[in-house]
Structure 1
Amino acid sequence: MAQPGPEPIFPPPFFDALINYCVVSGFTVRGPSAPLSAPLGSSVVLPCYVDEALPVEDLEVEWRRADSETLVHLYQDGESQAEVQQQDYHDRAHFFTEEIQHGNFSLRLDNLTAQDEGEYRCTVHSQQDSGEAVAQIKVSNERLLVSGSNHPASAYVGEDVTLNCSVDSHITPKHIIEASWRKTDKDVNILVLLYQNNKTLPESSNEQFRGRVEFFTAEISKGNFSLRLKSVRTEDKGVYMCQVFAGDLSANATVELERLGKEQKQ
């Protein structure tokens, strides 16, 4: 079954143009430059990051609803404090814990409801410094459907494997702003491969995958964004998310790569 999960190696390529930020006492907190639109029931990542990593000692990060000051999620004393979340966000709002040490304080919000629409404020406190950024969610009744696979993918070490991802047939390639694959398991969010502005950007790949991943280029015009992963390694095992942005809509599907074993003997 698909498992929710976005989001980003920081700063990822498609965040390069983000300009919503506030500078206070020495560091810059950045967020999205435009509202984030997503359909009901989907997941969305609210970007919040700094240009340079901050010491985790005395670091505190909180996400709140800007309209009501409702606490969405808190990072304090070196860990997420899920027990202090407002009840509506239990098991739905998550940090990318392993990325916090790199200055990434983005929040993933799962299973969007109509009540989630509104502004969210990310506030970062580090010793004597602080800063904040604001992200806005727009929940859409329109749906962009992205399909993966109903079954986990498997391969032997050294083999190639295909991770399936396809987009609704009524969404034409010219409307697809971006498609990306990310490895998203165990609090990790690694960019595997990015398609943006009608081009595949292999240089965007995390070094673990660079030179080993590709789209089926001839199939993109048919809405097929499946990923070929070459020469599978043991560390490739995990959950992968295919996320697609088309106009104001975004959607994702996940595929698990499991049962990795030693290369078969002939």
Structure 2
Amino acid sequence: MSGFLVKGPSGPLVAPLGSSVVLPCYVVEPLPMKDLEVEWRRTDSAILVHLYQDDESRPESQQQDYHDRAHFFIDQIQHGNFSLRLDNLRAEDDGRYTCRVYISGSDESVSVSVGEDVTLNCSVNSHITPEHIEEVSWKKTNEDILVLLYQNNKTLPDSSDERYRDRVEFFTAEIPKGNFSLRLKSVRTEDKGVYMCQVFAGGLSANATAVLGRMGES
């Protein structure tokens, strides 16, 4: 199976109290290290167990209970292995843990004249296969408005905020190539702002930001 799918254990892990256990989490192929973030959380409470961000482990972000007990295999992260070792197991460690991998794209600033059409770019690595794409959303983040939603292999135009309905579209033929760019038609002055594309696929969340600014008159 190809694609950047986050893999974990097939069943529950059992280990004696006081011992160590490895919680497996890895991707099929290595991801780019730039803008990579890995989060381990307790699913039952959303407690942050450990965080990898900005090319390093972030122990200061951990819940106090996991200080000095939860560790990444730092030398393995570049190979797509985000497994976590939990030491000195306690009875209260029993529970469900979730590993989430985020890749954020770089900001892109776009200028356009009022009345013109504009493309806001969003693409993720093409190794993600179409059948694993669960959801793609475009939101205007400074106003928290849903611009366009794609789920279950189709666009849901009724989900768009009324200001964007009938003015936005995906390049549908490009989606299998990992291209989720958005076409915004007949740009208005009030369209100016920050837009985020977020892709969920096989446990992987990726996002990219586009800034629509420097409006001119056509």
Work out the number of aligned pairs and report it: 139
CA shift at 1:116, angstroms?
A: 5.8
The answer to whether the Cα contact below 8 Å between 1:178 and 1:194 also exists between their aligned partners in 2 is yes
CA shift at 1:169, angstroms?
A: 1.4
CA shift at 1:139, angstroms?
A: 3.6
The answer to whether the Cα contact below 8 Å between 1:116 and 1:137 also exists between their aligned partners in 2 is no
Closer, same or farther: CA 41–219 of 1 in aligned 2, 3 Å: same
Aligned to 1:252: 207
Aligned to 1:161: 118
Q: For structure 1, which runs of at least 5 residues remain unmatched after alignment?
A: 1-38, 44-64, 71-111, 118-135
Distance 2:202 2:138 in 1: 18
Aligned to 2:135: 178
Structure 1, residues 203-236: CA drift from partner, whole Å, max 9, x if none? 1100010000000111111111000000000000
CA shift at 1:170, angstroms?
A: 1.1
Q: Match of 1:166, SS?
A: coil
Query: How well do the aligned residues superpose, as a CA RMSD in angstroms?
Result: 3.1
Distance 1:193 1:67 in 2: 28
Q: Match of 2:127, SS?
A: coil
**Alignment of structure 1 residues 26-175 onto 2, 5 Å:** 41=37, 66=45, 115=61, 138-140=98-100, 143=101, 145=103, 147=105, 151-175=108-132
Distance 1:67 1:217 in 2: 35
CA shift at 1:41, angstroms?
A: 2.6
CA shift at 1:138, angstroms?
A: 3.0
The answer to whether the Cα contact below 8 Å between 2:37 and 2:103 also exists between their aligned partners in 1 is no
2:183 to 219, 223, 228: 228
Distance 2:197 2:46 in 1: 32
TM, length-normalised to structure 1: 0.46
| Amino acid paired to 2:121 | N
Distance 1:206 1:179 in 2: 15
The answer to whether the Cα contact below 8 Å between 1:168 and 1:223 also exists between their aligned partners in 2 is yes
The answer to whether the Cα contact below 8 Å between 1:182 and 1:241 also exists between their aligned partners in 2 is yes
| Amino acid paired to 1:214 | E
Distance 2:188 2:146 in 1: 17
The answer to whether the Cα contact below 8 Å between 1:146 and 1:167 also exists between their aligned partners in 2 is no
Closer, same or farther: CA 173–258 of 1 in aligned 2, 3 Å: same
CA shift at 1:156, angstroms?
A: 0.5
CA shift at 1:144, angstroms?
A: 5.9
Aligned to 1:97: none
Task: Report whether the alignment pairs 1:200 with 2:155.
Answer: yes
Structure 1, residues 132-157: CA drift from partner, whole Å, max 9, x if none? xxxx98343xx564646x54111100
Task: Report whether the alignment pairs 1:217 with 2:177.
Answer: no
The answer to whether the Cα contact below 8 Å between 1:238 and 1:258 also exists between their aligned partners in 2 is yes
Closer, same or farther: CA 237–250 of 1 in aligned 2, 3 Å: same
Q: Match of 2:163, SS?
A: coil
Structure 1, residues 47-81: CA drift from partner, whole Å, max 9, x if none? xxxxxxxxxxxxxxxxxx9588x9xxxxxxxxxxx
Q: Match of 1:167, SS?
A: coil
Distance 2:108 2:36 in 1: 24
Closer, same or farther: CA 67–151 of 1 in aligned 2, 3 Å: closer
The answer to whether the Cα contact below 8 Å between 1:179 and 1:245 also exists between their aligned partners in 2 is yes
TM, length-normalised to structure 2: 0.56
The answer to whether the Cα contact below 8 Å between 1:160 and 1:231 also exists between their aligned partners in 2 is yes
| Identity within the alignment, % | 62
CA shift at 1:173, angstroms?
A: 1.1
